[in-house]
Structure 1
Amino acid sequence: MATLHSAPRFTQIDGLKNTISNALGDHLVEAREEHGELLFHVQRGSIETALRTLRDDFEYQQLMEIAGVDYPNRNERFEVVYMLLSVTTNNRIMVKCRASEDTPVPTVTTLWPNAGWLEREVFDMYGVLFDGNTDLRRILTDYGFEGHPFRKDFPLTGYVELRYSEDEKRVVYEPVKLAQDLRQFDFMSPWEGADYVLPGDEKADMPPIDDPKTTESPKQTGAGEKADDKAAEKVSADAPAEKDGGPDAPPPEPTEDQPGRKKRVGKTTDTAKATKPKKGTD
């Protein structure tokens, strides 16, 4: 028996973009559809108001995630993306705003308590400030960590490395020392390959495997009457085994004398009766 649910399996988004765009009004910068989901770009200062409208008027009850994106070439290099879920309509939308290093984004902890942890993560990884967050501290990196590791200009190896010192009996920070330089990749698909020849690939010019190599004459294989006659010759004609041995050679002499065995009773040797010696032979 099928179970009926109040929420549909999927929600049709036809017409939803225009409805939400009209509700957001001047707070909206851009609205578009990507990969079957709606994306709304709103003003940075209006993010709390826009999300409140989506929560109260359009039943997007849950804040699932807050993510950051870094575009170093832009004047406002960061994008803060809010991912909302409507349990009632079984639909997800994304709302984003732009920010720079010195332009804080209004906090949404007034709407969802879990936004405090999510905003701390974006602050830790990207350095985005959230105005109104009363506990904006690092959440993933270590104490005293410098910089924000998810920024595009942050070095892959970081600035310092830590280890436990047996001499000082504590964790110490040291400058990063690499045994070799980092490899530079062209970020191309390994299945398609690069447009240039990589070192070592110039040796890969081999005949096609689909075309098997065949011999047109016995000369190419080395076979023939001369090869058969030469193969019949004995290479070890003067070897000791060839001189002393052969098909008619006598068996070797025994190395020690063995006493004669007593005759057994019967014609077979695998019965209990046959193992008994004849009477009077002892």
Structure 2
Amino acid sequence: MSVLHPAPRYASNEGVQAALSKALGQSVVAAHEEHGEIVLTVARDDVETVLRTLRDEHDYQQLMEIAGVDYPSRDERFEVVYMLLSLTKNHRIIVKCTASESTPVPTVTTLWPNAGWLEREVFDMYGVIFAGNTDLRRILTDYGFEGHPFRKDFPLTGYTELRYSEDEKRVVYEPVELPQDLRQFDFMSPWEGADYVLPGDEKAATPPVDEPKTTEKPSQTGAGAKTDAKAAEEVSAGPPAEKASRKKAAGAPAPTEDRPSRAPRKGKSADTKASTEPKKRAPRKPKGDA
């Protein structure tokens, strides 16, 4: 018996990459499949046109997320990633483009209203400018915040810290002052070890691990006839208490008195049958019968 489910079946990636690359033409810079999803890299100036085509002609109706990535070593260090979902196909694709600090990316608020908030987040965290966004303000950081926290060259501690001043009775901003240096952890595996000498390990004498120790003779392992004979020797002649006193332990103590058995008691005793039964008396005679 087949069970019908109201949700659409998951669409396969087979043929999707080739079909979308052909439909988008010269706008596609690169295309590949990664982690089970189709990834399309498009020209920055064609982002709005590409996403409109995917929405209207290929049924990718929803914009699920806009994210940013920072690669400081590249000429265009940022990547803007758009994640689309097709409700009718139950299929997802990723579209991304590159940008720098001075090259704006066309806004897609003309296609999806929720893109306004998502573009503001990428601008706040990375500093990517979206041309055409009429409300490009910070959305996560505080007023007057300097810098963009998700950039790789932004310090982990930030530049300023916020605290409440008891003297001024208000919230103040001050430069960050650390009482000690920020500790860095490499989370190395305890089985593999580090490629460098940890502090303090230089004092330990490291044995030559490349020269394994072998035991080719029984005498090197401590085994053999001499060892067996020595193990069979009696270690102690007796318990420690016996060795210290050198006396045999005494047996049970002798009885304190020795009395002969008592003779059987006679009937006059207080605990005999005669003392416990009432005595039989003669009946009294009436006074008038004398």
Q: Please, what TM-score do these two structures have when normalized by structure 1? A: 0.72
Cα deviations by residue, 1:67-123 (Å, 9 ceiling, x for unpaired): 000000111000000000000000000000000001110000000000000000000
Q: How far does residue 217 in structure 1 lie from its aligned partner after superposition?
A: 6.5
Paired position in structure 1 for 2:5:
4
Percent sequence identity is 68
Gaps of 5+ in 1: 206-213, 236-246, 249-282
Given that residues 218 and 224 in structure 1 are in contact (C-alpha distance below 8 angstroms), is that contact kept between their aligned partners in structure 2?
Answer: no
Q: Structure 1 residues 132 and 223, CA, compared in 2 at 3 Å: closer, same or farther? A: farther
Change (3 A) 1:233 1:225: closer
For residue 225 of structure 1, what is the amino acid of its counterpart? Answer: S
Structure-to-structure mapping, 1:62-81, within 5 angstroms? 62-81=62-81
Structure 2 spans left out of the alignment, 5+ residues: 208-221, 246-251, 254-290
In structure 1, how many angstroms separate the alpha carbons of the residues matched to 2:199 and 2:242?
A: 50
Cross-structure match for 2:49: 49
- Tell me the residue number matched to 2:195: 195
Tell me which amino acid in the other structure corresponds to 1:119: E
Structure 1 contact 83–95 (Cα < 8 Å) conserved: yes
Matched AA of 2:235: G
Matched, 1:84 2:95: no
Does the CA contact (< 8 Å) of 1:31 and 1:41 recur in 2?
A: yes
1:37 aligns with 2:37: yes
Please state if 1:152 is matched with 2:152.
yes
Structure 2 CA distance for partners of 1:140 and 1:19, relative to 1, 3 Å: same
1:118 aligns with 2:118: yes
The 3-state SS of whatever aligns with 2:54 is helix
Q: Secondary structure at the match of 1:225?
A: coil
Alignment of 1:1-282 (within 5 A): 2-5=3-6, 7-8=8-9, 10-186=10-186, 188=188, 192-196=192-196, 198-199=198-199, 224-225=235-236, 228=238, 230=240, 232=242
Matched length: 227
Secondary structure of the structure 1 residue equivalent to 2:135:
coil
AA paired with 2:85? L
Q: Report the TM-score when normalising by structure 2.
A: 0.70
What's the secondary structure of 1:49's corresponding residue?
helix
Return closer, same or farther for 1:229/1:78 CA change in 2, 3 Å cut-off: same
Cα distance in 2 for residues equivalent to 1:25 and 1:32? 15
Task: In structure 2, give the amino acid aligned to 1:183.
Answer: R
Which letter maps to 2:80? V
